[in-house]
């Protein structure tokens, strides 16, 4: 059985979608969700879905090996960042090479980097009159949004679209493709 650990910072819709996707699979499951936000809605979602969830602070993540030790004891086959907003420490990346992936709400390399997340991305896409946007699933390295791209899914952006309209289209792509890409990575 392949083991998935998810990191999330917010509402956890992607985390919930992934948990449900793997719920009745015999080859993989989400064993734990970790969050840097003790008030994140993802914690409530995990409770309802009966998945172990823990919150941690910046010291446990960046300055000590507390989170790294939790991961070592969980021994995940894949670490999935699903709306996780902090830069990942090199100590964790070194311990789990090519096992940490992220989803970004744009077609990287466009609209990536520090501060480019959520509505900030969609507002920039609309402001720059882009005709398409999408999602990028990529490996995580020591720089924001610069790891090797695994998958991109695209959607049209109409001249009449608001940032909220783009966000809705991106969310649909995330819900459709993120679990499938994770599944394919675990099976390859």
**Which residues participate in catalysis according to the annotation?**
104
Beta-bridge partner residues of 32? 5
Beta-bridge partner residues of 134? 154
Q: Token match 């882009």: residue?
A: 130
């Amino acid at each position: 059985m392949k083991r998935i650990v998810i990191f999330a910072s917010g509402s956890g819709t992607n985390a919930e979608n992934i948990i449900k996707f793997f719920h009745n699979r015999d080859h993989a499951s989400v064993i734990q969700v970790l969050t840097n936000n003790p008030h994140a809605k993802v914690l409530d979602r995990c409770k309802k879905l009966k998945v172990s969830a823990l919150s941690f602070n910046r010291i446990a993540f960046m300055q000590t090996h507390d989170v790294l030790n939790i991961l070592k004891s969980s021994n995940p086959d894949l670490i999935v960042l699903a709306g996780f907003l902090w830069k990942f420490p090199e100590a964790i990346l070194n311990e789990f090479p090519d096992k940490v992936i992220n989803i970004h709400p744009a077609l990287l390399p466009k609209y990536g980097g520090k501060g480019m997340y959520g509505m900030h991305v969609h507002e920039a896409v609309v402001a720059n009159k882009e005709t398409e946007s999408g999602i990028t699933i990529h490996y995580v390295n020591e720089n924001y949004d610069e790891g090797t791209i695994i998958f991109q899914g695209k959607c049209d952006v109409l001249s009449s679209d608001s940032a909220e309209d783009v966000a809705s289209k991106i969310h649909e792509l995330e819900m459709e493709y993120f679990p499938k890409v994770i599944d394919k990575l675990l099976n390859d």
